[in-house]
Amino acid sequence: MLTELRVLVTGGAGFVGSHLCERLLQEGYEVLCVDNLYTGTRHNVHHLLSNPRFELLRHDVCFPLYVEVDEIYNLACPASPIHYQLDPVQTTKTSVNGAINMLGLAKRVRAKILQASTSEVYGDPSVHPQAEDYWGNVNPIGPRSCYDEGKRCAETLFFDYHRQHEMPVKVARIFNTYGPRMHPNDGRVVSNFVVQALQNRDITVYGDGSHTRSFCYVDDLVDGLMRLMGTPDEVTGPVNLGNPGEFTIRELADEVIELTGSSSRVIHLPLPADDPRQRRPDISKANELFGWKPTVALREGLSKTITYFERLLRDQLVTAVRPLLHQS
């Protein structure tokens, strides 16, 4: 279905953003991908650059942006603890100032806008699974607070703009997502385990491995984001998007070792501060409002992710060896 709508994706050269840009182009949209390339990379969208309906603009959402668009997906913010804790003040600015600037743009051009929020707004949850009416258990002064509280404040801004200016807003709370184009050194559990297993290094499990996560394949998430954006204006969210299948971290490690045929062994390290003990979305709201539920099983998604990282590591090795071959 072709359309003349022009869509802005902030953080569009990142892991999730690049998949969203790709899917939007497939659906016939014009796509303006905005990214400051702090954690995103040109490599993620290189295959899109030849498409005449795709434009890449290097820009930091902490500063105002003056463009004409019909819809905005605000995905800009480092999402892994290693990246968002490296410069926590900038992380908070990206969430808060970025939301203000994108909401201001949406207000000016009368665009529908979607905020990519996070399951981290629930903190270390005292209810399980987590539904959207749960207000969370978040440490406001801990090492993860720049991300957790930044995203919570962004949600506040979205709903205040909606109430004060009657703007059409959407808020998606994204649970753990994985797949091709994850950064190999982002510190997230799937990328960590896969890279370690492919290199036959020790797989590092923090804690005893009994804490749980729910893993959603990136294609399922992108489908959920687009379905939410397509709902009537009265549907604002917040809406959980994630896979309700729940696995312990040890189960994930064992699955990765099996799928890669690795000789890695599992070692245990202390849990980081404020690391949630369990995480599982209640997605009944997404299913009721726009008929969404994930379809990619963990084993299938891991296989696709492993294939990507095998190719990435092989290409990196060739790049590193090529100068040596040239000298010999």
Computed over every residue of the chain, the mean pLDDT equals 92
Q: How confident is the model at residue 86 (pLDDT cuts 50, 70, 90)?
A: confident
How far lies 321's CA from each of 50, 199, 325, 326, in Å? 29, 17, 6, 9
Arithmetic mean of pLDDT, 25-41: 96
Per-residue pLDDT reduced to its tens digit, 212-227: 999 999 999 999 999 9
Rounded Cα–Cα distance for residues 104 and 211 (Å): 40
User: Any idea which of 114-128, 183-197, 273-287 has the lowest mean pLDDT?
Assistant: 273-287
Q: Which residue has the tokens 């100032």?
A: 97
Catalytic residue chosen out of the listed positions 73, 84, 122, 147: 147
Omega before 129 within 30 of 0, i.e. cis: yes
Per-residue pLDDT reduced to its tens digit, 258-302: 999 999 999 998 877 767 788 899 999 999 999 999 999 999 999
Rounded Cα–Cα distance for residues 85 and 103 (Å): 25
Look at residue 79 in the predicted model and tell me its pLDDT: 84
Per-residue pLDDT reduced to its tens digit, 248-261: 999 999 999 999 99
Q: CB under 8 Å to 87, separation ≥6 — which residues?
A: none
CATH T-level topology, domain 6-271+278-315 = Rossmann fold (3.40.50)
**Tokens read off for 169:** 């807003």
- pLDDT greater than 80 at residue 322: no
**What percent of the chain has pLDDT above 90?**
84
Arithmetic mean of pLDDT, 216-240: 98
Arithmetic mean of pLDDT, 68-95: 92
Arithmetic mean of pLDDT, 166-177: 97
Q: How confident is the model at residue 328 (pLDDT cuts 50, 70, 90)?
A: very low
- pLDDT greater than 90 at residue 324: no
- pLDDT greater than 70 at residue 41: yes
**What percent of the chain has pLDDT above 70?**
95
For residue 119, the one-letter residue type is S
Arithmetic mean of pLDDT, 1-19: 89
Domain boundaries along the sequence of the chain: 6-271+278-315
- pLDDT greater than 60 at residue 321: no
Look at residue 71 in the predicted model and tell me its pLDDT: 98
Q: Which residue has the tokens 């890669």?
A: 260
Alpha helices in 180-272 (DSSP H): 189-198, 218-229, 249-260
Torsion of CA 83, 86, 91, 92, to 10 degrees: 140
- Catalytic, 161? Answer no
